């Protein structure tokens, strides 16, 4: 293996690792946002809040993951989770 091949392998490895970290972080926040929405909906006795929160979190995560390189989907998911909390508090 030449030095050029080794440099290419390292670059590809780093890109794969960055993608893995991004997907793992996004997945964890997505699950947390859905669980939070469902818990708030259950506590308030209005499951429509939980359903809206779960759908909104999924939409934010999907939209963010469909736009690689154009921003991080994590802030969008956090904003959706905060909106769900506010809906639960003021509903």
Q: Would you give per-residue pLDDT tens digits along the chain (91 residues)?
A: 555 676 678 888 888 898 888 788 878 878 887 888 788 778 878 788 778 878 887 887 777 777 666 556 666 666 776 776 676 667 6
Q: How many structural domains is the chain composed of?
A: 1
Residue 5 and residue 43: Cα distance in Å, rounded? 57
Domain that holds residue 7: 3-90
- Indicate the pTM of the whole model: 0.66
């Amino acid at each position: 293996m030449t030095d050029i091949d080794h440099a290419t392998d390292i670059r590809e490895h780093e890109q794969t690792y960055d993608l893995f970290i991004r997907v793992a972080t996004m997945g964890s926040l997505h699950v947390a946002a859905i669980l939070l929405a469902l818990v708030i909906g259950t506590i308030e006795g209005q499951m429509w809040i939980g359903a809206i929160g779960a759908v909104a979190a999924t939409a934010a995560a999907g939209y963010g993951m469909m736009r690689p390189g154009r921003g991080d989907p994590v802030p969008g998911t956090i904003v959706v989770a905060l909106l769900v909390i506010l809906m639960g508090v003021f509903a």
